[in-house]
């Protein structure tokens, strides 16, 4: 019975819920290699696609990929392209004078030929004639890309497991002298403990799973005179003690649970945010193969993720993203305002207007040095995204991620495969 349930979950996840194949997939893979640079990128994307989940029988995997490709080119690509052009097209037509017909042809062509999501075509500006789509790594192939980049370094499951285990990572990096977010408790999955045990001093707490990513199921909780209240990480309000209890039990049924103090923002940054949610610094470090002194890592990209309120319709959080100059931690203006709605443009403008040439991330040098020091523990992983909160007491590290999204980085810096 258990095997049957697992099989049904697999079929639902892969045949129904998954919108795309496990990477770029199209008829160009069948063309002979002419030795051009474009062909080199085709071969690389094909390699990323072919290195999909190896735990499946290869025949089964190919059948699933065939089904996903047929569904995409036969129906989903057309619908997704129409929606994307309808949403983004008028703004691009106004700002760049590209006719809707031209945009629609470009978006649909890339979607059908390569299984590139239309939303990424717009975010990465691939609708332009000068764009080189194969220079980019897309979200449905980014996990394979990370494995491909780390394989020459001798990637081991030990490193990946440690990065996934937030408690074990915190224990190891704390011993190395890095400032980690303290953990008040780690509760085994299925535990029957009460959340109120860690709220006796009226200090808000943040509850999350020990493994996993994207803060699925995570929430903040605090005591009020009428009892426990809270808010899910995705913005939904937990207005009653019963709602908090339900979120707590759901999290405990999902995985081991970590209870941590809710962090406060550094006063030099707090004014940028709307509300008191944590402002996050994402520091992406990469291995630098040209160095052999034990410090062979450098900053690939750094951004500040600023809470900017919540959608009044569903409570989902808004964010403003600012690039950070890695050399000194200076905050830079950034707004892709021709692709976003008027309200989002106002949120970007509010934050950008507050920046001055002296706007820097507090204690940036310490944060950067600690990120590079943490990466030394993982010489077999090419790139790690470290998430920090700069508190009044200094930077505190939340976690490290080995399979981070590359979209924002490529929006800022161009395709990861450019020049390869």
- At 30 the pLDDT is 82
To the nearest 10°, report the CA torsion of 192, 198, 199, 203: -150
Whole-structure pTM value = 0.92
Residue 295 has pLDDT above 60, yes or no: no
In 3D, which of 137, 156, 410, 163 has the Cα closest to residue 300?
410
Give me the mean pLDDT over the 229-242 stretch: 90
Residue 32 has pLDDT above 80, yes or no: no
Residue 365 has pLDDT above 50, yes or no: yes
Half-sphere exposure of 71 (CA within 13 A, CB side): 14
Task: Output the CATH code of domain 155-179+264-413.
Answer: 3.30.470.20
Helix H or strand E segment including 133: none
To the nearest 10°, report the CA torsion of 290, 137, 147, 297: 30
- At 35 the pLDDT is 57
Specify whether the backbone of 282 is left (phi greater than 0), alpha (psi in -120 to 50) or beta.
Answer: beta
- Mean of the per-residue pLDDT values of the chain: 90
Of the pLDDT bands very low, low, confident and very high (cuts 50, 70, 90), residue 193 is: confident
Quote the CA–CA distance of 17 and 391 in Å, as a whole number.
39
Least confident residue range of 35-39, 164-168, 322-326, 344-348? 35-39
Residues 220 and 230: beta-carbon distance below 8 Å: yes
Quote the CA–CA distance of 353 and 304 in Å, as a whole number.
16
Render 137-177 in DSSP notation, one character per residue. Answer: --GGGHHHHHHHHHGGGT--HHHHHHHH-HHHHHHHHHHTT
- At 293 the pLDDT is 40
Residues 389 and 263: beta-carbon distance below 8 Å: yes
Express each pLDDT in 123-158 by its tens digit.
999 999 999 999 999 999 999 999 999 999 999 999
Does residue 234 sit in helix, strand or coil?
coil
In 3D, which of 358, 350, 388, 373 has the Cα closest to residue 295?
373
Of the pLDDT bands very low, low, confident and very high (cuts 50, 70, 90), residue 112 is: very high
- At 300 the pLDDT is 96
Top-tier CATH class for 185-261: alpha beta
- Can 155-179+264-413 and 185-261 be said to share one CATH topology? no
Specify whether the backbone of 394 is left (phi greater than 0), alpha (psi in -120 to 50) or beta.
Answer: left
Express each pLDDT in 390-399 by its tens digit.
999 999 999 9
% residues pLDDT > 90 (the chain): 73
Does residue 352 sit in helix, strand or coil?
helix
Express each pLDDT in 320-339 by its tens digit.
999 999 999 999 998 777 78
- At 294 the pLDDT is 43
Give the number of other Cβ atoms within 10 Å of residue 29's Cβ: 14
Q: Where are the domains of the chain?
A: 11-135, 155-179+264-413, 185-261
Q: Which two tokens stand for residue 106?
A: 């470009």
């Amino acid at each position: 019975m258990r095997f049957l349930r697992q099989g049904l979950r697999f079929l639902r996840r892969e045949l129904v819920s998954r919108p795309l194949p496990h990477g770029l997939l199209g008829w160009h893979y069948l063309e002979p290699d002419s030795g051009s640079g474009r062909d080199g990128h085709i071969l690389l994307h094909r390699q990323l696609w072919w290195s999909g989940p190896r735990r499946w029988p290869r025949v089964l995997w190919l059948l699933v990929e065939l089904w996903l490709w047929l569904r995409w080119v036969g129906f989903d690509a057309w619908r997704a392209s129409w929606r994307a052009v309808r949403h983004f097209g008028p703004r691009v037509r106004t700002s760049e004078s590209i006719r809707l017909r031209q945009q629609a042809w470009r978006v649909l062509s890339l979607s059908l030929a390569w299984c590139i999501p239309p939303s990424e075509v717009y975010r990465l500006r691939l609708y332009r004639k000068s764009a080189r789509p194969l220079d980019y790594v897309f979200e449905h192939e980014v996990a394979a890309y990370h494995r491909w980049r780390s394989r020459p370094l001798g990637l081991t499951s030990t490193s990946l497991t440690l990065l996934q285990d937030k408690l074990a990572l915190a224990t190891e990096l704390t011993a190395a002298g890095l400032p980690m977010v303290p953990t008040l408790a780690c509760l085994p999955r299925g535990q029957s403990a009460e959340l109120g045990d860690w709220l006796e001093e009226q200090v808000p707490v943040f509850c999350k799973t020990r493994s996993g990513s994207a803060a699925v199921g995570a929430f903040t909780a605090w005591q009020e005179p009428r009892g426990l209240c809270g808010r899910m990480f995705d913005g939904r309000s937990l207005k009653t003690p019963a709602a908090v209890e339900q979120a707590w039990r759901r999290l405990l049924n999902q995985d081991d649970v970590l209870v941590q103090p809710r962090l406060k923002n550094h006063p030099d940054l707090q004014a940028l945010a709307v509300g008191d949610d944590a402002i996050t610094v994402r520091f992406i470090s990469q291995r630098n193969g040209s160095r052999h002194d034990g410090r062979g890592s450098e900053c690939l990209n750094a951004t500040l993720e600023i809470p900017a309120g919540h959608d009044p319709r569903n409570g989902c959080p808004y964010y403003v993203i600012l690039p950070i100059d890695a050399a000194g931690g200076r905050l830079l203006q950034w707004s892709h305002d021709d692709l976003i709605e008027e309200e989002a443009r106002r949120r970007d403008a509010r934050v950008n207007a507050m920046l001055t040439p002296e706007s820097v991330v507090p204690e940036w040098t310490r944060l950067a040095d600690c990120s590079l020091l943490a990466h030394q523990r993982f010489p077999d992983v090419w790139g790690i995204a470290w998430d920090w909160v700069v508190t009044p007491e200094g930077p505190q590290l939340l976690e490290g991620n080995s399979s981070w999204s590359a979209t924002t980085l490529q929006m800022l810096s161009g395709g990861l495969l450019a020049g390869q």
